[in-house]
Amino acid sequence: MGSFAFISIIALLCYVFLLLALLAAKKNTIVNAFLLILAALILWTGGSFCMRMQLWPGLKIWYDVSILGLTLLAYAFYFFVSRFADLKKTPAGKFWLAVIIIINIINVATGYFLAAPKPEISDEGEVIFVYQYTWAIIILFGACALIILHMLYNLFRYYKNNTLAKGQFMPILIGIIVLFAGNIGIMLPFFTGFPTDILAGIINALFMFYALYKRKLFQLKLVISRGTCYVVTAGLSFVIFYYMISPLEKLITEKFSLSSRNTILVIVVIFTLFALILYYALKRFLDKIFIRDEIMQAESLKNFSLNASKSLDVSEILKEITNVIQKSISVRKIFICIADKKNSKFEVLHSTNPLENKKYNINVENPLIAELEKNNECLMMKDFRRTTEYKSMWEAEKKQLQELGIECAVPLMDDSGMMGIVFLCEKEKKAGFTYNDIVFLNSVKSIGSIAVKNSRLFEQAYMEARTDDLTGLLNRKYFYEILQQEFENNTGGCLSLIILNLDDFKLYNQLYGIKEGDNALRKVARIVKASVGASGHVARYSGKEFAIILPKYDLLSSKNLAEIIRKQIMNMNRRESDYTFKMLTVSGGISSIPYSASTVKELIENADMAIYKVKHSGKNAVMVHVGRNPNPEERTATRSESKETIYLEYEQTIGALTAAIDTKDHYTFKHSRNVAYYATELAYGYGMDEDFIEIVRESALLHDVGKIGIPEQILNKEDKLSDEEFSTVKGHVENSIGIIRNLPSLDYVIPAVIGHHERYDGNGYPRKIAGNDIPLSARILCVADAFDAMTTKRPYKAPLSVGESLQRLQEDAGLQFDPELVPIFVGLVNQGVIKICED
Amino acid sequence: MKFEEKLKKRQYSQLWQEYCGFLDLDIDSYMNIQNRLMQEQISLWSKCELGRKMLAGKQPPKTIEEFREMVPLTTYGDYADFLLQKKGDMLPDEPVIWIQTTWECGKHPIKVAPYTSSMLDTYRNNIIACLILCTSTEKGKFNARETDKFLYALAPLPYATGLMPLALNEEISIEFLPPVKDAMQMTFSERNKKGFKMGLKKGIDIFFGLGSVAYYVSLSVSTLGKGSSGKSSLMSISPKILTRFLIAKYLCKKENRDLKPKDLFKLKGFMCAGTDNRCYKDDLEELWGVRPMELFAGTEPSIIGTETWTRNGMYFFPDACFYEFIPEAEMLRTFEEEGYKPATYLMNEVIPGQKYELVISVLKGGAFVRYRVGDVYECVGLESREEGTRIPRFIYIDRIPTIIDIAGFTRISEHSIQNVIELSGLPIENWVAVKEYRQNRPLMHIYVEMKEGQILNTAVSREILKEHLTIYFKYVDSDYQDLKKILGMDPLEITILKCGTFSFYEKSTSKKLRRINPQPYDVMELLKIDKKDFKLMGRRG
């Protein structure tokens, strides 16, 4: 091959160049596999070149090296393809490697497969190498061929399952084909003496390199690539100079007939220019091909900016910040501290190490904060230590920064001041922060600041819209939203609701002042929240009511939880060294789907109901709403005795009020009693529990109490009422509420009283609500009220018969009356369960 | 990175900023540092045994105002139980070294002060600031280098002055003359002799000493080359200094004057400390060709202030102590009325032209809070255009009037003089002691009145009294002895007043004269009475 030796040298240089370039790159398994190919190629080409040149230490050794390279190349290809296709590691790989090693060991020791060639002088006087082939060579090349076949099989399998990868693998396939072609070419007479195999090796390596580049697997330091450029330029120039100098000299002296002195000058100029061009060409090649640090940084900044702008979640953004920094700067640890709500300290919200103790916080008065705020740029601790501000650092603060190993602080700021700080610890291998790092950090700072600001604003707005200012619990609006959500999420499962109502809170406020009252609310909120934890949602349901939504809680566990909370609240103020004993108790009502309610509305109503029950039975207790009784008759038996005990307290108030009505308007007094009778019977018939029935009874007795305020002449007017008079009469509903509202212990009758003139079709008064929006108690009252009004005599009308009245009720079912209640009522009257009151 | 490494990297402007940056502070930033560090100190102090005892069961103060309200001003006696027994674990922070000094001559032999690790860090930084400033000629320009030779005419450990070479050597390998290790074994004069001898060999770049001592030491240069011992010492002089010496000798002969240190050494920096420096500064400048830069350091407060390149008033370091100032009138009232609580003012409340007694709370875990150091300063300005500063500037006046300090050596109180008089057995009826200056040198002038009945049978001439009392002063106060031994000073002056002068003074002015440093006009009044024939006047009246 004589004069073509330069091809081997160029091939070697190419491989070494790629090897050097890749050694500087960030390693991964694919790059490592490619390095193995390069190493094999270098061994093969280098070994064979040195052998042909018969260099020291001897032909045999170089021959063995080249055979090792050749056989290793097969394995390297196999390994590379497995890694590139990301195939599972199988024992086959290790097996092939073992085969290669064993073959080589045997061959080195005995020359069994293919012995080293012997140099002979050919007829033309050139040195040729004669090989002694035996059948054993089949084992050597056969093994290699098997490995390559296995590789091709792998490639084919991957190719089949992964059409997207076709483009990626194309260069590798072409490279392999070229390599084969080159090795076949060596046998063709046309290429005699020309090392087509080596040339093919170069082309193959370049194709593979291209494949890696396409997969963006490189990240290279510019400095090292420049060094590589120098080395390769020098090597290539030397080789070319060595081979080209004599032909060039010949050319110049013969064609241009220059003197030998001038010839040297021209050659020197030509080669200087050549070397320069070569250098720049290589440099450009490197610049183009390798993704350099800066580009990587720019890329990651771009991605970071994109990701950060997509998210409104602070913790996600903080994660993005640490990710982008760690990708570009190899720091051991990063902490991000964010200002707390009061802006009094910065707390560690995120750290690269999840196991890190996050209890550190940095006081807002720390001089470090002032320094960061003043300069609004990345601050190196070693610089900070030299400032006058550092003089005012407390020893504990200095120690804290030292313990955390913080070397650099990056402020996150907006127009109103510092929002947070990113702390970077020591870089790996104790490398210092470079100028580039600082520039990069300042870019991260700018993007990060905006992202954190936006997400914090969003979070704040989100929280404000959903939480109660005073207690920090969910507000009523959000409570309904969550309850609905949980209801939908728990179809088929259970969902409990606890409502806690502070007892006599108005009195508490009056005794200790509103400020103390607010404190108590905060404390209660804390207790409830701590007790519920992550198993439910806590809301401030109304001024003095707290609601707890408990998904997957049944009645028993809800009751236990409610009891625990109740006891805690009762003992809440006990420890205070106050002169007065600020006892505060709570009444709790529990309702649960599916046990005692089936809709959200029912759930809330029933929990409310349970509270009324507690309030009646002496407060400071928790009660569970059990639901409608399917057998009303059974209830009746248990009802009266409990009624006596529970409602005795209120009976007197109601008695006093009804007595007042009696004095003013005897009819109304009687009417109220009748309505109470009809309504309670209807409620029993409908299957309501005793507490509900009691509320209905009391509501009925008081439903017209507002008539006290209506002049008698209007009440007893025989003629048709004028519009004005009619609106006065209509006003009795509000009057009733006005009176009842002053009796806090009876406020539970308000829903029934206020709604008893509402019509089912929505044309009633005063609120014009319709259908099931009208409380059940009011709908019951409405039927009972109308029935009594129809069957009794009034100055302006004669009484209707029972039949007629029932007829009217049925006609207006769905218009004025609840269509579900009317048939029950009619049925009860017809069955004689409801007796008609005497006029 | 140490100071020396930074010097080698030639980061001069950063170094100036790091160590002397406090000179650029405005008063608000200055107070911010003071307040923050004081806050830290309050929290440390309130938690320790010492603090709890001083608070006597009261809730720990939360703010500096509360602290100043709750904690009374203190003197060493308040700490003696804790400190003299070195009960480190009862202090705000564990001390790493105890520094010692004389407490009150004749009464208490010594007092000790604890230094914590972070106090020493601050001390180190501030002493480097002094080093930088003493070699500076204008703002930002200084000439301290690690190869400098440092002549050091101060006492070694356990005295506060001994900390300086140790602290400096941690940061920079300046060579001390003589080396610190050797100096500890030597007597004062040995140290000076050795220092100078080495200086002649190696040159002297920086000189630091008590003003009075520096002056005394400097004078000894003029004896160089005189006598036989001088001849032999000439042999070890470096060629450079020898040339300077020969030229100077020639010039001195021509100008008919003594040899001065400036003829031999070109000082880069000159620092002095102690009292009565203003008596010596001009002479020292004349001798060395460089005006000394005064700095203030003490055993209890550590190093707290320094002058700058202008040598025109001192600035207090913001991170060494928390400073409070008692105005002069308030201070004097505390001497008259026992139990009087004087008002104190902070650094941002001082008024130029006013004299103040300094009260310090040592920061960084120090033991002393609201401690009356016993020094009086005068505020000379709130800002300086020349230096570009915006913080108050002070000059050192003297010890508080109840203490007589001569040249930074003695601490003579009423008790010590009374003690000496009693020991001497002299029939002295009454006396006052006043610190006076003669030919710009401090002295203690005692005006005595002898017991009328005993004058006849005792020899009580002025000389006898002076001799007698001097002997007893030396006996009870080793510092007093050093005045003579080291500085060759004899600072006692006696004036005998007529019998009955004091009682007549008291009768006629109806006030009692303060025994130590009474107001100058009161002394004048006393002397006037002495001249009058008051006994006659008394009879007539």
Mean pLDDT is highest, among A354-358, A632-636, B148-152, for: B148-152
Partner residue facing B21 (CB), from A365, A367, A387: A387
pLDDT above 90 for B126: yes
| Higher pLDDT among residues B426 and A202, named by residue | B426
pLDDT of residue B330: 94
Summarize the confidence of residues A381-396 as an average pLDDT: 89
pLDDT above 60 for B394: yes
Which residues, in sequence order, are bridge partners of residue B492?
B444
Q: Residue A475's CB: how many other CB atoms inside 10 A?
A: 18
Q: Please report, for residues A222, A339, A369, the alpha-carbon distance to residue A443 in angstroms, rounded to integers and kept in the order given.
A: 21, 21, 20
pLDDT above 70 for A635: no
For tokens 């608000």, name the residue.
Answer: B28
Q: Does A394 touch chain B (CB under 8 A)?
A: yes
The residue of chain B with its CA nearest to that of A398 is B118
Residues A173 and A199 reside in one and the same domain: yes
- Tell me, what DSSP letter sits at residue A712? H
pLDDT of residue B229: 47
Summarize the confidence of residues B189-201 as an average pLDDT: 83
Q: Residue A659's CB: how many other CB atoms inside 10 A?
A: 11
| Higher pLDDT among residues A447 and A637, named by residue | A447
Interchain pair B36, A387: CB under 8 A = no
Q: Please report, for residues A339, A625, A667, B330, B344, the alpha-carbon distance to residue A598 in angstroms, rounded to integers and kept in the order given.
A: 45, 13, 41, 84, 76
Superfamily of B414-540 according to CATH: ANL, C-terminal domain (3.30.300.30)
Contacts of A29 (CB under 8 A, 6+ apart): A83
Q: Please report, for residues A15, A22, A27, A233, the alpha-carbon distance to residue A220 in angstroms, rounded to integers and kept in the order given.
A: 17, 8, 10, 19
Mind telling me how many Å the CA of A396 is from chain B's nearest CA?
9
Closest by CA to A104, choosing from A43, A34, A148, is A43
| Higher pLDDT among residues A168 and A323, named by residue | A323
In a domain, A838, yes or no: no
Q: Please state which of the four CATH numbers 3.40.50.150, 3.40.50.300, 3.40.50.12780, 2.60.120.40 is assigned to the domain occupying B3-399.
A: 3.40.50.12780
At A641, the pLDDT band (50, 70, 90 cuts) reads very low
Contacts of A745 (CB under 8 A, 6+ apart): A615, A649, A650, A653
Measured CA to CA, the distance from residue A605 to residue A777 in angstroms comes to 11
Q: Which residues of B touch A386 (CB under 8 A)?
A: 14, 17-18
Contacts of A779 (CB under 8 A, 6+ apart): A755, A760, A817, A818, A821
Give the type of residue at A550.
L
Q: Residue B98's CB: how many other CB atoms inside 10 A?
A: 14
In a domain, A142, yes or no: yes
Tell me if A825 sits within 8 A of A809, measured CB to CB: yes
Measured CA to CA, the distance from residue B338 to residue B340 in angstroms comes to 6
Residues A773 and A813 reside in one and the same domain: yes
The number of CA neighbours under 13 Å toward the Cβ of A775 is 22
At A568, the pLDDT band (50, 70, 90 cuts) reads confident
In a domain, A616, yes or no: yes
Measured CA to CA, the distance from residue A89 to residue A83 in angstroms comes to 9
pLDDT of residue A640: 36
Interchain pair B14, A386: CB under 8 A = yes
User: Lowest-confidence range among A115-119, A222-226, A294-298?
Assistant: A222-226
In a domain, A836, yes or no: no
Per-residue model confidence as pLDDT tens digits over B40-97: 999 999 999 999 999 988 889 999 999 999 999 999 989 988 898 888 899 999 999 9
Among A624, A650, A684, residue at a domain's last position: A624
Residue A706: its H or E element: none
Measured CA to CA, the distance from residue A164 to residue A155 in angstroms comes to 13
pLDDT of residue B541: 34
Q: Residue A215's CB: how many other CB atoms inside 10 A?
A: 11
pLDDT above 80 for A2: no
Question: What is the b/e burial string over B169-184, where b = at least 16 CB atoms within 10 angstroms of the residue's CB?
Answer: bbbbebbbbbebeebe
For tokens 């039949």, name the residue.
Answer: A803
Q: Please report, for residues A557, A621, B202, the alpha-carbon distance to residue A536 in angstroms, rounded to integers and kept in the order given.
A: 12, 21, 83
In a domain, A683, yes or no: yes
Q: Which of residues 59-78 of A touch B (CB under 8 A)?
A: none
How far is residue A523 CA from its own chain's centroid? 31
User: Lowest-confidence range among A25-34, A417-426, B5-14, B443-452?
Assistant: A25-34
Please report the sign of the dihedral spanned by the C-alpha atoms of residue A178, residue A182, residue A183, residue A184: positive
pLDDT of residue A642: 38
Measured CA to CA, the distance from residue B149 to residue B77 in angstroms comes to 40
Q: Does A382 touch chain B (CB under 8 A)?
A: yes
pLDDT above 60 for A224: no
User: With pLDDT > 90 as the criterion, what percentage of chain A qualifies?
Assistant: 10
Interchain pair A387, B18: CB under 8 A = yes
In a domain, A95, yes or no: yes
pLDDT of residue B382: 94
Residues A609 and A758 reside in one and the same domain: no
Look up residue A392 and give its two tokens: 């005012």
Residues A646 and A762 reside in one and the same domain: yes
Residue A402: its H or E element: helix A395-404
Interchain pair B36, A386: CB under 8 A = no
User: Lowest-confidence range among A690-699, A780-789, B54-63, B363-372?
Assistant: A690-699
Summarize the confidence of residues A519-541 as an average pLDDT: 88
pLDDT of residue A223: 41
Give the pairing type, strands B269-273 and B293-298. Answer: parallel
Q: Does B118 touch chain A (CB under 8 A)?
A: yes
Q: Does B365 touch chain A (CB under 8 A)?
A: yes
Residues A383 and A460 reside in one and the same domain: yes
Partner residue facing B22 (CB), from A391, A394, A395: A391
Residues A337 and A202 reside in one and the same domain: no
Per-residue model confidence as pLDDT tens digits over A826-838: 999 998 888 887 7
Measured CA to CA, the distance from residue B179 to residue B163 in angstroms comes to 14
CATH number at residue A17: 1.20.1070.10
| DSSP of B98-148 | EEEEEEETTTEEEEEEEEEHHHHHHHHHHHHHHHHHHT-SBTTB----TT-
Look up residue A141 and give its two tokens: 């090349």
Q: Which residues of B touch A380 (CB under 8 A)?
A: none
Q: A652 exposed, middle or buried (CB, 10 Å; 0-12, 13-18, 19+)?
A: exposed
Q: In which domain, by residue range, is A282 found? A: 220-291
Phi (first) and psi of residue A174, to 5 degrees: -60, -45
Q: Is A672 helix (H, G, I), strand (E, B) or coil?
A: helix
Per-residue model confidence as pLDDT tens digits over A700-735: 888 888 888 888 788 777 777 888 888 888 888 888
Closest by CA to A698, choosing from A665, A661, A653, A741, is A653
Among A436, A465, A494, residue at a domain's last position: A465
pLDDT of residue A220: 46
Summarize the confidence of residues A296-300 as an average pLDDT: 77
pLDDT of residue A136: 84
pLDDT of residue A520: 87
pLDDT above 60 for B540: no
pLDDT above 70 for A105: yes
User: Lowest-confidence range among A460-469, A738-747, B364-373?
Assistant: A738-747
The residue of chain B with its CA nearest to that of A382 is B1
pTM assigned to the model: 0.61
Measured CA to CA, the distance from residue B451 to residue B467 in angstroms comes to 19
pLDDT of residue A724: 85
pLDDT above 50 for A643: no
Residues A286 and A376 reside in one and the same domain: no
Give the type of residue at A366.
N
3-state secondary structure A331-347: ECCEEEEEECCCCCEEE
How many CB contacts within 8 angstroms connect chain A with chain B? 35
Look up residue A598 and give its two tokens: 């089936």
At B303, the pLDDT band (50, 70, 90 cuts) reads very high
Q: Which residues of B touch A388 (CB under 8 A)?
A: 17, 21-22, 24-25, 29, 33
Mind telling me how many Å the CA of B36 is from chain A's nearest CA?
6
Q: Which of residues 32-51 of B touch A (CB under 8 A)?
A: 32-33, 36-37, 40
Residue positions counted in chain B: 541
Tell me if A199 sits within 8 A of A11, measured CB to CB: yes
pLDDT above 60 for A238: yes
Closest by CA to A371, choosing from B11, B352, B21, is B21
Angle, helices B462-476/B478-487, rounded to nearest 10 degrees: 110
Residues A591 and A573 reside in one and the same domain: yes
CATH number at residue A346: 3.30.450.40
Q: Is A85 helix (H, G, I), strand (E, B) or coil?
A: coil
At A632, the pLDDT band (50, 70, 90 cuts) reads very low
pLDDT of residue A623: 86
For tokens 């390199």, name the residue.
Answer: A209
Q: Is B409 helix (H, G, I), strand (E, B) or coil?
A: coil
User: With pLDDT > 70 as the criterion, what percentage of chain A qualifies?
Assistant: 88
Residues A661 and A756 reside in one and the same domain: yes
At A217, the pLDDT band (50, 70, 90 cuts) reads low
Look up residue A506 and give its two tokens: 């108005």
pLDDT above 80 for A633: no
pLDDT of residue A215: 61
Measured CA to CA, the distance from residue A28 to residue B185 in angstroms comes to 66
Among A624, A651, A682, residue at a domain's last position: A624
Contacts of A783 (CB under 8 A, 6+ apart): A678, A679, A682, A809, A817, A818, A821, A822, A825
| DSSP of A616-640 | HTTSS-EEE-----S-HHHHHHHHH
Summarize the confidence of residues B401-424 as an average pLDDT: 87
In a domain, A839, yes or no: no
Summarize the confidence of residues A99-104 as an average pLDDT: 91
Residues A573 and A599 reside in one and the same domain: yes
> What is the location of CATH 3.30.300.30 in chain B?
414-540
At B235, the pLDDT band (50, 70, 90 cuts) reads low
Partner residue facing B33 (CB), from A386, A392, A396: A392
Q: Which residues of A touch B29 (CB under 8 A)?
A: 388
Residues A531 and A637 reside in one and the same domain: no
Mean pLDDT (chain A, rounded): 81
| E strands present in A68-219 | 118-121, 127-130
Residues A736 and A709 reside in one and the same domain: yes
Mean pLDDT (chain B, rounded): 87
Tell me if B264 sits within 8 A of B242, measured CB to CB: no
Q: A449 exposed, middle or buried (CB, 10 Å; 0-12, 13-18, 19+)?
A: buried
> What is the location of CATH 3.40.50.12780 in chain B?
3-399
Please count the structural domains in chain A.
5
The number of CA neighbours under 13 Å toward the Cβ of A407 is 18
Measured CA to CA, the distance from residue B161 to residue B431 in angstroms comes to 35
User: Lowest-confidence range among A94-103, A375-384, A768-777?
Assistant: A768-777
Per-residue model confidence as pLDDT tens digits over A345-366: 888 888 887 666 667 788 888 8
Mind telling me how many Å the CA of B304 is from chain A's nearest CA?
14
Which residues, in sequence order, are bridge partners of residue B269?
B206
Q: Which residues of A touch B24 (CB under 8 A)?
A: 388
Helices (H), A85-136: 91-110
Q: Which residues of A touch B364 (CB under 8 A)?
A: 395
Measured CA to CA, the distance from residue A604 to residue A449 in angstroms comes to 44
